[in-house]
Chain A
Amino acid sequence: MNLETKKVKSPFKPDSKYMSDLAAQVQSKVGIEKKEVFRKDKSVKIPSKRNESLQLSVEFGFPLTTEKSKPESKVEDLIIEESKEEAVLKASVQEIIEVTKPVFEDFPHSGLVLRREDLPQIEEAKIEEAIEDIESEAGKDIVQETINELAAPIENEIVEEIEYDSIELDLLHEEMEKRQQSEVSTQEVYDTLANRSESSQPVEKNTQEKKSLSIPWASIFGAVASLVAVAAAWFVWTVIQKPMAIDDWADQNVVAANTPENPIVNSTKEEKNTSKEFQVPSLDTDVGLVYDLIVDDDLPIHKNIEFQELSEQGRISSVELEKEGLMVLELEDVIFDEIVLAP
């Protein structure tokens, strides 16, 4: 990490509240009036209530404001409003009633208003006049007729059957035939379309047959490629690296472990210790004596069987080693042939 190229900041970041508190402490300690040193962030608050009007401009003393979205008027409010109107109307009607002269007068607010006292008399007189006029025109007692009509039971309406002339029947037949013909023609069109769709399928079959008759290059290439792959696998399997049976592999490893390697560098003590792990059955018995002498910490003890296997020089050497206290020959414990030492 290169500090010169990459600027690392200080991790210490005191907040503004702590800073203002600290400034206040310092001011009090030095004995001056405490004042807010750090300006507080004046964040603009967005009004949460959208219903409030927002002044857009001030021109000629008339601020243009967005209209408040009025809350929906409740049922109670509406009832109150209606009752107010009613009260006003009643009051005005009452005033008018008090005035005696005109029967109908043009009231500025609610139009024509009748005087309540005179209303039944006027209605009765008008109705009687109207009935008399109608009866005189028709020559009937209308009142009685209307009473009879109302009293009579209501009969079900019967729809009259229509009677057609021969000409009309001919026209109907012609119309029927036309419709049948049009239906037949549409059916034919459907049939032809269906036949065409069926006829297109055999064509596709023919093209497929033609295709199948052509040489299948793809399958040939596939077969060739598979053959090549098999041949390559066989080549690898047999020639390049023939896999070894597990027994063969084990034998090979054992032989490799037992064959002594010519040391490039003089072997150290550690290497000798590690070589002890490998028991070397193929070593000559003479060499084995010396090997045991070197490797074993304790005195090597040899029995006669091993001794008999020694060469002449080996026997002489082993006797000399026993004399020097480097080896123990337990020859007297077992029966053995007489050993003939060279002079």
Chain B
Amino acid sequence: MSLPKRSESSNSMRNHAVSINFEKLDDAHLIQYFENSQYVEDVFRELLRRFQEPVYIYTRNMLSSHDDADDATQNTFIKVWKGLSSFRGESKLKTWIYRIASNECINLLRKKKKNIDFDEALPELSDYLLDSQYISSDDIEMKLQKAMCYLPYKQKLVFVLRYFEDLSYDDISELTQTSVGALKSSYHHAVKKLEIYLNVLR
């Protein structure tokens, strides 16, 4: 899908103060209004409306803690606001925001634990699952979350982006700067480990 270039349409729209229903625009067309100072606030609010909840759930999946997810979500959107003008539309809007969110998660974990190795699992994150804020009581869902804490962080990242967020391998490849083959392998290993873990937990 070819994204429309922002420079083509932004100048033509700059002089027209027309109320636009941003909710009806898709991501690719919403990008066109990023540079327009007249609409930028409304555009940002529209981004919040579309992505705030998914980003919170994504960061919560990665960090398990509600407070950390809250911080990560806020920081993500502050950075989105700052980066709106510099966003060129070269990648998908969703991929861009998820990349910022992923980096925020890593930053938060680095602050908490120095010399952290993301090739290893972070089982201590499972302690945060006891925090019952905004958690459903579904047993299997909770077991999966607990199992995910025993995956190496990189595998967990791939698994969450693919399994929960339904991102394509190409998008994840763009987000993580990893080859699609490596991602597929990583996802496959993650799924197998989780299945074994879930069967053991039963």
Contacts and interface: CB of A to CB of B under 8 A. Distances in A.
A319 interface: no
A4 B57 CA distance: 20
A29 B57 contact: no
A25 interface: yes
A164 interface: no
B10 interface: no
Contacts of B142: 11
Interface centre among A10, A13, A19, A27 (most CB of B within 10 A): A10
A2 B49 CA distance: 34
A22 B140 contact: no
A37 B46 CA distance: 7
A95 interface: no
A202 to B, nearest CB: 76
For chain A, the bracket of interface size reads 20 to 34
A50 interface: no
A32 B44 contact: yes
B6 interface: no
Contact of A22 (B52, B164, B194, B199): B52
A37 B29 CA distance: 19
Given A2-B195, A26-B78, A29-B74, A12 B44 contact: no
B61 A12 contact: yes
Interface stretch (B98-106, B112-120, B131-139, B167-175): B131-139
A1 B195 contact: yes
Contacts of A38: 49
B53 interface: yes
B145 interface: yes
Given A8-B144, A11-B145, A12-B57, A30 B136 contact: no
23 contacts: A1-B140, A3-B144, A3-B163, A8-B140, A10-B60, A10-B61, A10-B164, A11-B135, A11-B145, A12-B56, A12-B136, A14-B56, A15-B134, A19-B56, A22-B70, A22-B74, A23-B45, A23-B52, A26-B52, A29-B78, A30-B78, A35-B45, A38-B49
Pairs A-B, 3 closest by C-beta atoms: A11-B141, A30-B81, A12-B60
Interface of B: 41, 44-45, 48-49, 52-53, 56-57, 60-61, 69-70, 73-74, 77-78, 81, 134-136, 138, 140-142, 144-145, 163-164, 191, 194-195, 198-199, 202
